[in-house]
């Protein structure tokens, strides 16, 4: 889709400029300044379906509107409604299209694009031994962190993600810096989870990262990551204290594989004072009723990663039981163990797994449930729902525009269900983060060939560090 101009002169200018920077229809026939960088106004006019995720703005829990406009005013949602005036805004034709908030990916490891396809015959611990753990004692570098994460950022943007939670293993400070720089270069909104596994050695570096990078970037947030176990108890306590000192959440993998509970993960969190509001637990699969009660009582949030859980034979998270306890649940991709970055496939897996295990097609999450989980639900997990997760005037303009008129999606029948069961990243035409277009007319902004080549070079180095010869 291209901006809809009102005169041939503007059409010509638009066609010349939109590829590199975007341009505006001013309504007066004069081209306006660049508006696709988050500094202008964009009117998406007459979208056939708008899922605002704000029940106050539209019908049902998803706040549905039909044939409605969305005005992006610089970095924010300016207005939602019918027949909004264009004034000086650039106009995108939304007819036949779906607008919804960008996906909020609550758990990823973007560097793991470098190990896609690694040890696909292994469960969690076998996969870790083959593809991750050797890197802690290897000279993995800034450019490795950058190359892997940069590819990951472009791939999640293509899938409609506007906020990514990147749990960095931070093998060393150099690697972490490259990882973080890739996030900042992407212009995504992000939560950088700094894996603090070498405390106290990394204390000063993490404080510096927050002060000099995170706090200066309006798109950036920080969480502290740690692997809580009985054997890693001292480090768990140190990470919790650092999170408290910095005023940020702790983020941990919890009871992912069947072998995890015996390592004392939950007890380490309890004794370390970490079971508290804001704690994000990833996976959270092997859970008793009493343990779920405990997490719910402390407003602990869950990142659900169904594609990864299937790939690693980890099990099926008790998502309906979490929902019954009013826990905040978001959807995550989990890096190299779902291999790709397809958020639509993740929603479909989240629905399908519960149906497969319960024999109940009405089981939570339904398609509307999972679309909320993948957007506003994720924002709630991260504590960012005041700023993102719904298309509400005043919130950040983190929006995706989806084309359902494609071979994989058409014809129109029930678009909410079709988003889950038919949607693919290729259906995402435009992605805006804080009003800046990161995917334009079906193409992710950036030098993809260069990013892929850099990632391949980094992956080649990693494969040597892992000491394995992979079949090509």
Rounded CA-CA distance 440/1 in Å is 9
Q: Which stretch binds Zn ion (CB under 5 A): 156-164, 201-209, 328-336, 456-464?
A: 328-336
Cα 358 to Cα 318, 353, 355, 362, distances in angstroms = 11, 9, 5, 10
Contact between 105 and Zn ion by CB under 5 A: the answer reads: no
Secondary structure of residue 289 in the 3-state scheme: helix
Q: Which stretch binds Zn ion (CB under 5 A): 290-298, 333-341, 345-353, 360-368?
A: 333-341
**Binding-site string for Zn ion from residue 285 to residue 324, where x marks contact by CB under 5 A and - marks none:** ----------------------------------------
Contact between 223 and Zn ion by CB under 5 A: the answer reads: no
Q: Which stretch binds Zn ion (CB under 5 A): 77-85, 117-125, 331-339, 405-413?
A: 331-339
Rounded CA-CA distance 333/317 in Å is 14
Site for Zn ion in 141-160 (CB under 5 A): none
Taking the complex as a whole, the smallest distance from the CB of residue 421 to Zn ion amounts, in Å, to 26
Secondary structure of residue 177 in the 3-state scheme: helix
Which of 352, 363, 358 lies closest to 323, judged by CA? Answer: 363
What long-range pairs does 200-204 form, CB within 8 A, spacing at least 24? 200/238, 202/170, 202/173, 203/238, 203/242
* Residue (68 or 176) nearer to Zn ion, CB: 176
Q: Which stretch binds Zn ion (CB under 5 A): 213-221, 321-329, 332-340, 369-377?
A: 332-340
Q: Which stretch binds Zn ion (CB under 5 A): 60-68, 242-250, 317-325, 327-335?
A: 327-335
Taking the complex as a whole, the smallest distance from the CB of residue 219 to Zn ion amounts, in Å, to 22
State the virtual CA torsion across 323, 327, 331, 333 in degrees, nearest 10.
Answer: -120
* Residue (335 or 423) nearer to Zn ion, CB: 335
Taking the complex as a whole, the smallest distance from the CB of residue 265 to Zn ion amounts, in Å, to 13
CB atoms near residue 19 (< 10 Å): 12
Rounded CA-CA distance 381/318 in Å is 17
Number of residues that bind Zn ion (CB under 5 A): 1
Query: Per the structure block, which two tokens stand in for 128?
Result: 């870790």
**Binding-site string for Zn ion from residue 423 to residue 462, where x marks contact by CB under 5 A and - marks none:** ----------------------------------------
The DSSP symbol for 325 reads: T
Taking the complex as a whole, the smallest distance from the CB of residue 456 to Zn ion amounts, in Å, to 23
Rounded CA-CA distance 285/287 in Å is 6
Name the phi and psi angles at 187, rounded to 5: 65, 10
Contact between 334 and Zn ion by CB under 5 A: the answer reads: yes
Taking the complex as a whole, the smallest distance from the CB of residue 32 to Zn ion amounts, in Å, to 44
Taking the complex as a whole, the smallest distance from the CB of residue 285 to Zn ion amounts, in Å, to 12
Site for Zn ion in 229-288 (CB under 5 A): none
Taking the complex as a whole, the smallest distance from the CB of residue 256 to Zn ion amounts, in Å, to 8
Taking the complex as a whole, the smallest distance from the CB of residue 282 to Zn ion amounts, in Å, to 5
* Residue (64 or 107) nearer to Zn ion, CB: 107
Which of 378, 400, 403, 375 lies closest to 390, judged by CA? Answer: 375
DSSP string, 70-138: EEEETTEEEEEESS---TT-EEEE-TT-EEEEPEEEEEE-GGGGGGTTTTTT--HHHHHHHHTGGGGGS
Closest residue to Zn ion, judged by C-beta, is 334
Taking the complex as a whole, the smallest distance from the CB of residue 108 to Zn ion amounts, in Å, to 8
Which of 104, 107, 4 lies closest to 376, judged by CA? Answer: 104
Q: Which stretch binds Zn ion (CB under 5 A): 179-187, 285-293, 334-342, 462-470?
A: 334-342
User: 70-102 burial, b for 16+ CB within 10 Å, e for fewer?
Assistant: bbbbbbbbbebeeebebebbbbbebeebbbbbb
Q: Which stretch binds Zn ion (CB under 5 A): 33-41, 290-298, 326-334, 368-376?
A: 326-334
Rounded CA-CA distance 404/191 in Å is 30
Taking the complex as a whole, the smallest distance from the CB of residue 334 to Zn ion amounts, in Å, to 5
Q: Which stretch binds Zn ion (CB under 5 A): 42-50, 77-85, 86-94, 329-337?
A: 329-337
* Residue (162 or 337) nearer to Zn ion, CB: 337
Question: C-alpha angle 65/27/430, rounded to 5°?
Answer: 45
Taking the complex as a whole, the smallest distance from the CB of residue 361 to Zn ion amounts, in Å, to 29
Q: Angle of helix 448-465 relative to helix 142-158, nearest 10 degrees?
A: 130
* Residue (155 or 334) nearer to Zn ion, CB: 334
Interface residue list for Zn ion (CB under 5 A)? 334
């Amino acid at each position: 889709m291209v901006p809809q101009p009102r005169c041939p002169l503007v059409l010509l200018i638009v066609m010349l400029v939109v590829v590199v920077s975007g341009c505006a229809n001013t309504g007066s026939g004069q081209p306006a300044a660049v508006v696709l960088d988050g500094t202008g106004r964009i009117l998406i006019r007459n979208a056939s379906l708008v899922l605002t995720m704000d029940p106050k703005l539209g019908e049902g829990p998803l706040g549905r509107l039909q044939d409605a406009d969305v005005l992006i005013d610089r970095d924010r949602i300016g207005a939602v409604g019918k027949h909004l005036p264009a004034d000086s805004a650039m106009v995108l034709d939304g007819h036949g299209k779906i607008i919804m908030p960008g996906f909020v990916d609550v758990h990823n490891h973007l560097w793991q694009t470098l190990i896609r396809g690694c040890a696909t015959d292994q469960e969690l611990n076998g996969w870790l031994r083959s593809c991750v753990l050797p890197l802690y004692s290897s000279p993995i570098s800034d450019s490795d962190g950058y190359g892997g994460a940069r590819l990951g950022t472009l791939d999640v943007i293509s899938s409609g993600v506007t906020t990514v939670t990147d749990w960095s293993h931070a093998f060393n400070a150099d690697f972490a810096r490259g990882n973080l720089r890739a996030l900042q270069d992407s212009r995504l909104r992000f939560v950088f989870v700094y894996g603090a596994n070498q405390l106290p050695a990394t204390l000063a570096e993490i404080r510096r990262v927050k002060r000099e990078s995170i706090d200066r970037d309006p798109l950036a947030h920080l969480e502290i990551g740690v692997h809580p176990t009985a054997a890693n108890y001292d480090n768990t306590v140190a990470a919790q204290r650092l999170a408290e000192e910095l005023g940020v959440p702790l983020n941990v993998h919890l009871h992912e594989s069947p072998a995890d509970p015996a390592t004392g993960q939950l007890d380490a969190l309890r004794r370390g004072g970490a079971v508290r509001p804001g704690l994000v637990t990833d996976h959270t699969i092997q859970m008793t009723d009493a343990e779920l009660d405990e997490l719910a009582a402390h407003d602990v949030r869950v990142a659900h990663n169904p594609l990864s859980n299937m790939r690693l034979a980890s099990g099926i998270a008790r998502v309906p039981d979490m929902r019954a306890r009013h826990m905040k649940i978001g959807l995550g991709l989990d890096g190299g163990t779902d291999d790709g970055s397809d958020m639509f496939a993740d929603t479909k897996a989240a629905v399908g797994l519960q149906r497969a295990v319960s024999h109940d097609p009405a089981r939570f999450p339904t398609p509307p449930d999972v679309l909320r989980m993948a957007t506003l639900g994720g924002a709630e997990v991260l504590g960012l729902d005041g700023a993102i997760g719904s298309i509400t005037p005043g919130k950040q303009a983190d929006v995706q525009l989806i084309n359902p008129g494609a071979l994989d999606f058409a014809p129109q029948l029930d678009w909410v269900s079709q988003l889950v069961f038919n949607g693919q990243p290729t259906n995402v035409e435009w992605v805006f983060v804080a009003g800046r277009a990161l995917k334009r007319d079906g193409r992710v902004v950036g030098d993809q060939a260069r990013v892929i080549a850099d990632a391949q070079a980094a992956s080649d180095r990693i494969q040597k560090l892992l000491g394995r010869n992979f079949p090509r």
